[in-house]
Each structure stands twice: as structure tokens, then as C-alpha cells.
Structure 1
Amino acid sequence: MNEDELGKSECWYIIACEKDSEVVIGHQARTKDELIRRIDEGEWDRLLNKIKVEPGDFFYIPSGTIHAVGEGIILLEIQQPSDTTYRIHDYDRVDQDGKRRELQIEKAKDVATVLPTDLDLHVKVKKDKRLTVTRYLSSIYFTVEKWEADGEAAIPLEEFTLVSVIGGQGKVNGAEARKGDHFILTSLCSEARLSGNLEIIACWIDRINCR
């Protein structure tokens, strides 16, 4: 990788979107040479893999995957800690001064992968009377779950956990929480105690997977 980094894997949870909104994940090229040729010739419609989205969709984007978020989408993004972005195309947009954003085409060509886009995440769902836990992903980079509580429930914690409330309102460990709130449950918390009607995206780094 460039910039002395090992890449930036990320994932998206679609919170809201307009009808027929799309994201780009991956491409149609079968070889690196074909990928480079289509980039050089600007064959974006033939190259990019476009996917229509709906609220509640979840996508994992491994490092090196060409990706973009289309218009009319509100999403929650979870990623490795990295500020590096290589742009190969910016839809010919200009800023208020009529300038286009800088592209990093050669660097993007170098790191872009040529692999089939596998969107099957083998999602696991556990339900009881007051709580539904959906595990979308467990990797060396992060584990991501959705917690849906209707009443009182408790979830054991093993690591510090990032919490984003994407729906409803209630309490988390005694603190008021509502849609739009983001906070951290530190490693001193042995569990997340939920009450009310809450929809939460929670993520953490699983140290077992990191070994």
C-alpha cells in the first residue's frame, strides 16, 4: 500500500435513502489490464458495479475495493482508522470556485483489487422476547452488530464498544439515549443494559480475531 498504510476496510449500514438510490461496490473488469484500460478510457457505466439500496441494508467493503455512495443516501460508516482516500473519478463535479477535486488515479490503479464482489456476509440473528441481536460481521478489523430492544435487556460486553443509536429512544446503562446519539461504552462496562425502544449499531475490535 501507499502512504505507509495497510489499507482501509469499511462497512456501511443504510439508515435512509431515496427511491432507486445506488451505491458502487466493486467493478466488472476481469483482469487488472482490463480495469486499467476502462479507467483510462472513462468507461464508468460499463466498469462500475452499481447496487440499489434500501434502509437496513449492510455492506462490507474490503480494502482495495472501488466504492462510492450515490445521491439521496444517509448511512453509518464504520472503518479502519485511516485518512487515505484515492479517487479515480468524481463525476466531473466542481466546487463553488469552479475547481474539481484532486484525483489520485495512478495510486488507485495500483491498489485496486480485481476480485469477485461477494456481498454474502452470513448474517447471524438471535432473538428473545425483548431483544434481537443481528451480527453482520466479525473480522480482524471490527465486529458489527445491530441491537433492537423493546423493553429491558442486557448484552454482555468484552471490549470497549462504539454505540450509534439509529432509531427510537430509551436508556443505555442508565443514560438517556435517542436517535442520532453516539457514544462509547468503555472497557469498564461489563454489559450494555438497554431499556425502552431502541435500535442501535454497535461495533468493537475483537481481540481474539486479531491474534
Structure 2
Amino acid sequence: MTNEKDNKIMNKIIKLSPFFSERIWGGERLKEFGFDISNNKIGEAWLISTLENGMSYLKKQNISFKDFFEANREKFGLTNNEEFPLLTKIITANDYLSVQVHPNDEYAKVHHNSLGKPESWYILDCPENAKLIYGHNAKTVEEFEECVSKGSWKKLLKEVEIKKGDFLYVEPGKIHAITPGVIVYELQKSSDITYRLYDYDRVDDKGNPRELHIKESLANVSIPDTQDIIIRISNNLKFNCEFFSIEKIKSNSNQKTIWTNSKNIKWFQITIIEGNCIINNIDFKIGESAVCIDNLDQLEILGDAEILIAWL
């Protein structure tokens, strides 16, 4: 039986069920994270989302995360006119994703009445000698436009080698694309604005070329390219920027691991990326996510697991 203290803690840890997004480059590898998917074209699990086109729900309850958030804003420390700021996904690529770029807050607000889309990737798995498209080689706008008009993609696009456990920050204006066999945990601002610069001449299910956004891409791409921000394999990943923070912790079954909310964060969120564990007397398995609200002061973790913790 749980006692009153346990019940109070459980009310501060809200498990969520993801939305599954079908993609032209999708597959079945989300099953490796315990997700029950029958469609072999599922490319993304939107783990923690308040977006209408990819809503998360409270686990075992028919309550959308957006409705829960709006009814409990004070437990998140956000005001009435603030939307939930983060979106968390696991992306599994069975093919090349489109080469794309995202806008900053100012551009997104004017053109879409939306937040911009800075994002980050933690590499959950990848083939040997894998590479991602991350940035470009053009030094001037004229050079960039010439490569686009001539289709000189190998000349334009920059690739970086990656390994499981690497972390990459993808700021607005940074060209990027995930490649076949790569699985990432993606943390970003709560936005679904993507401009496709190049899509390998693919067609949709009706045989039509997939839409590109050349004008918008040119309006947002950073030229010359911005500095690469890559943290190579780290057992104690920590990254902070103006848009979000993320940290990785490892626990084991031999002793309890304590993560303390030392910054007095009003809310934070967790995703189990490897193994299974018990967190504050609640069972968690790989792939599960939760939001921790109302000034939860610490996590007590027992079990062999890796956990990503994110907050503002």
C-alpha cells in the first residue's frame, strides 16, 4: 500500500502516452523502445507534446496533456498567456529525412504566430560510421543560392560523423537532416514549423513531388554557417542554452541514485532511454516519459537505466 507521502509524490509525476506520427521515411524501430505500433511507417513518437497535430495524453486517462497543462498552470509556474514551451520526440529514420531549416522566434511569430524551432538531438542508436547532415559549406549568399539552383548538394551540405551517445544542438538557421538507421531523442521548442530545402526528389503517396520551401529556407538559413555544437559521448551529459536545458543520468540496481532539483525548477520532464527503473516508487520502463511538476524536489531512482531530464 502507498502512504499519503507517496500519493503526493505520485501526483507530481505525470506519465504520458505518446502520439505516433507516420512518415514517408518511417519504419518499425520504435518497437525497440517498448511502443506498441502496428504500422511499419511510423517515424516519430511525440513523447511530450501539447500540439494539436501530435497530442500526448495522460497515461491510462482520456485527458490530453494540453488540457491537463492548462488546468494546472500554477504547478508549472507559467502564466495564463504562456503555452507549454517544449516538445520531446524519439525519431527513427528508415531513410533520409528531408534537408531542412527552422525559423527563430521572431520569424515564426510574424509568419505563423508560433514559437521558433531550436532543437537538439541525443543519438540513441546509429550504424557504424554514421553521419548526419549538419550545416553547410557556403561562405556567401550567392554561393549558397548557386548550389541550390544547380542542385550541387554534395558541395553545399556538410556531414559530421556521429556515434551513439553524441549530442548535437541545432539552432534556428542551421541546416540539418537525419540519415538512415539513426535514432534520436529530440528536444525542441514547442513548434512544428519545418522548411524543406531538399528532399531527394521524392514524391508523396499520390505521385506528386513533395513540397519544398526554398524561399523560406533562404530567408532563415545562417550564412556563413554557425559554429557546430557537438558534445561527444558523455556519461554525464549536461547542456544549457537560452531555450532549454538537458542532462543525462545513469542509475543502477545496486544502490539508489538521487537527482536533486537544486535549481528549484518548478517543472521538469524525464524520458527513460535505456533499461527499466523505479523512480520515487513508480515503475518506469524504456521509452516512458513523464512531467514532474509542483516543485518536485528530487528523484530517487533504483534500477539499471539511463534517463534524460529536460527543463527550461
SS at 1:87 equivalent: strand
2:288 — aligned with what?
A: 181
Select the residue among 234, 237, 247 that pairs with 1:134: 237
2:137 — aligned with what?
A: 28
Given the two structures, how large is their TM-score scaled by the length of structure 2? 0.59
Given the two structures, how large is their TM-score scaled by the length of structure 1? 0.86
Task: Give yes or no for the alignment of 1:143 onto 2:245.
Answer: yes
Shift of 1:196: 1.1
Q: What is the total number of aligned residue pairs between the two structures?
A: 197
Q: In 1, are the aligned partners of 2:138 and 2:225 still within 8 Å (CA)?
A: no
One-letter code aligned to 2:165: G
Q: In 1, are the aligned partners of 2:115 and 2:189 still within 8 Å (CA)?
A: no
Shift of 1:117: 4.2
Question: Aligned equivalents of 2:128 and 2:304: distance in 1?
Answer: 27
Counting strand residues as a fraction of each chain, which structure ranks higher?
1
Q: In 1, are the aligned partners of 2:268 and 2:310 still within 8 Å (CA)?
A: yes
Counting helix residues as a fraction of each chain, which structure ranks higher?
2
Please list every run of 5 or more consecutive structure 1 residues that lacks an aligned counterpart in the other structure: 126-131, 206-211
Q: In 1, are the aligned partners of 2:123 and 2:164 still within 8 Å (CA)?
A: yes
One-letter code aligned to 1:27: H
Shift of 1:7: 2.8
SS at 2:147 equivalent: helix
Q: In 2, are the aligned partners of 1:25 and 1:117 still within 8 Å (CA)?
A: no
Question: Aligned equivalents of 2:260 and 2:135: distance in 1?
Answer: 36
Q: In 2, are the aligned partners of 1:24 and 1:67 still within 8 Å (CA)?
A: yes
Report matched runs for 1:96-115 at 5 Å: 96-115=205-224
Question: Aligned equivalents of 1:3 and 1:21: distance in 2?
Answer: 34
Question: Aligned equivalents of 2:236 and 2:177: distance in 1?
Answer: 28
Shift of 1:5: 4.5
1:156 — aligned with what?
A: 260
Please list every run of 5 or more consecutive structure 2 residues that lacks an aligned counterpart in the other structure: 1-106
Q: In 1, are the aligned partners of 2:276 and 2:284 still within 8 Å (CA)?
A: yes
One-letter code aligned to 2:248: K
Shift of 1:66: 0.8
Instruction: Describe the superposition over 1:14-65 as per-residue Cα deviations: whole angstroms up to 9, x where unpaired.
Output: 1011223321111000112211221121110000011122111110011111
Q: In 2, are the aligned partners of 1:7 and 1:64 still within 8 Å (CA)?
A: no
One-letter code aligned to 2:171: P
Identity %: 29
Question: Aligned equivalents of 1:172 and 1:182: distance in 2?
Answer: 12
Q: In 1, are the aligned partners of 2:195 and 2:212 still within 8 Å (CA)?
A: yes
CA RMSD of aligned residues (A): 1.9
Task: Give yes or no for the alignment of 1:170 onto 2:277.
Answer: yes
Question: Aligned equivalents of 1:134 and 1:83: distance in 2?
Answer: 26
One-letter code aligned to 1:30: K
Question: Aligned equivalents of 1:36 and 1:168: distance in 2?
Answer: 46
